[in-house]
Structure 1
Amino acid sequence: MKDDLIKAARKIVTDPYILVNVVSRRVKQLRHGSKPLVESLEKLNLEDVALREIIEGKISYELSPGENTY
């Protein structure tokens, strides 16, 4: 994963545990055939695609009621 993408995504999803979960769930979706929601001229790995999607506001997350945060 690219450090600059991680830093930019951390500005949007400030809790690192939630960021890891959002990225890992999106990577799983991409591996199972979901189309990327961002275009890139460079070849990105799936984790970087997920980070770019977060940065560009293409995906978001929602905590379930009563779900604990760290």
Structure 2
Amino acid sequence: MINELLHPPRPKPSPPVFDDPRGQRRRIVTTVGVVVCILCLCVLGVGASVLYADPKAPATGGAAEARNTTDTTARR
């Protein structure tokens, strides 16, 4: 009786939550995580490129600017 009090019997170990001996679930979850991360980075990149405006950007239309200029040296 004293041995049972000092060293009680250990309970049986519970079964693992994820029984994945070959690691297939881990590979799937890792792949999905990497794809989601890449998509988020693409969305952030597109959003940053749309929101960014270069203050020294070149003119987009040369003909429209030539028509609106008042410089007389360009007409020679």
When the two structures are superposed, what TM-score results if normalisation uses the length of structure 2?
A: 0.25
- Structure with the bigger percentage of helix: 2
Larger Rg: 2
For CA contacts below 8 A with separation 6 or more, give which structure has more relative contact order. Answer: 1
- The normalised TM-score by structure 1 is 0.27
